[in-house]
Structure 1
Amino acid sequence: PYTIYVNQWGKDGGSGTSCAKVNSLSGTTISYVNRWNWTGGTGVKSYTNVNLNQGVGKQLSAISKIPASWKWSQTQTGTIVANVAFDLFTAASAGASNQYEIMVWVANFNAGPISAQYGSDGKPVPIVQNVNLAGKSWNLYKGSNGAQTVFSFLTSDGSQINSFSGDLNDFIKYLTANQGLSKSQYLTTVQSGTEATSGDAVFTASAYSVTVQ
């Protein structure tokens, strides 16, 4: 049901590697390890992720739920810059270019979301604060990566969620109800992993599962 992409798309902005190994797969539950080490530059070097191959390509209005479960841990050496996040994309049709990116960050290690607004302290400014979804309170950020409009949900209190269990469709439904995301858009991509910028870390997903229903 999944493909693991090492996806070292920004590797030329620094030096290092990211590698991944699958430990087990049972039904829709996968266990894997991602070791990465990057130096140089402030841009993301890799987004090593688990990509869902089944159930995508549906119109948002036709999706009832996207149950996801993710238990993970991480060890790191020194200071790292990275996140741990779900990454969803939507497009006007199943084969069209992606127009929207929806990120749900379950951890933030000295990184920051894409934002159209920044405060005088240089930190991104959320467009909405304290949105309750999937049993947690979130701040929502909005910006552009040059190709897509990006919505990023980060925990309001900055806490990590090392054991996430919830419906990712709750985040989509919030955006269609409140932020102008059209229900006629198609869900093209569901991924999860670590956007790594710099540092040395070993990320272990002991159990990860997601389905689109």
Structure 2
Amino acid sequence: MLTQLTALTLLPAFCLSSLLRPRQIDTSAHCGQWDTVPAGSQYTVLLDQWGASGASSGSDCARLTSVNGNMVAWETNWTWTGGSGVKSFTNIQLDDGLNKQLSNIKSMPTTWDWSQATSGKIVADVAYDLFTASTPGGANANEIMIWLANFNAGPISSAYGADGQPVPVASNVQLAGQTWNLYSGSNGANNVFSFLPASGNAITSFSGDVNGFLKYLTTNEGLSTSQYLVTAQAGTEATSGTATLTTSKYSLSIN
């Protein structure tokens, strides 16, 4: 019986070199409104510039910098002027393990280390963005956001105080080793739940179980465990200003 090493040595030289050569990734900059860039077998970089028409000028570009197993790194450069709404949500999308009923998800471990350089005042957030639906691959019914940073932006909320600030439906919620305020409202198409750091400070190095946030919502906020997780993304919602978001390490999986 051939050993694995012997079998490899019998392969033609060009086949052997292909097996041993690291898988190439596209590290060039992409700036198209709906460009997509494969990032290994688990992820895709999406240049989702869905609100670009609301800007008087601007651009948004992104590039992969590395893929190592289930760990990926990327960079986003954006600048937007004009309009009050979100212009883009350049993100890394998980493509593996989706369309699973919430009741069947055991864990969603994640790591996200990032930094951001800005020029002047910006309006943006850095966040996970999840969607659930009533059927696998179905229409979005609920959006769940986990904000790691809020730069002069604000979550969707059904209630606002006299000062014009959104009012949380739950405060000082302990999840994934951090303290959060939870906001709830509608974007006109589906329910939106947004967890924001209670301290107001950016969380630039985050590690935890995203499923804990889903379990909190099913236990306390009426999110049905029969819903299916159909989308899991992480990136920056950019409204105005100029910034470069650099992710040095990111991973997310569904078990």
- Same fold flag (TM > 0.5): yes
For 2:59 and 2:68, how far apart are their aligned partners in 1?
28
Tell whether 2:182 aligns with 1:144: no
Any idea what the Cα deviations from partners look like across 1:53-84, whole Å, max 9, x if unmatched? Answer: 00011000000000010000000000000000
SS for the counterpart of 2:219 is helix
2:197 aligns with 155
Match of 1:54 among 67, 81, 96: 96
- Structure 2 unaligned spans of 5+: 1-41
Match of 1:19 among 36, 58, 61: 61
SS for the counterpart of 1:117 is coil
Shift of 1:41: 1.0
Aligned-CA RMSD value: 0.5
* Higher normalized contact order (CA 8 Å, seq sep 6+, divided by chain length): 1
Shift of 1:179: 0.3
Match of 2:86 among 22, 27, 44: 44
1:208 aligns with 250
More strand by share: 1
- Give the aligned residue type for 1:13: G
- Give the aligned residue type for 1:162: T
1:7 aligns with 48
Any idea what the Cα deviations from partners look like across 1:122-160, whole Å, max 9, x if unmatched? Answer: 111101100000001100000001111000000111011
- Who wins on radius of gyration, i.e. which is larger? 2
Runs (4+) off by over 6 Å: none
Any idea what the Cα deviations from partners look like across 1:12-67, whole Å, max 9, x if unmatched? Answer: 00121111000010111111000000000110000000000000110000000000
Match of 1:92 among 126, 129, 134: 134
Match of 2:229 among 165, 187, 207: 187
1:173 aligns with 215
TM-score normalised over the length of structure 1:
0.99
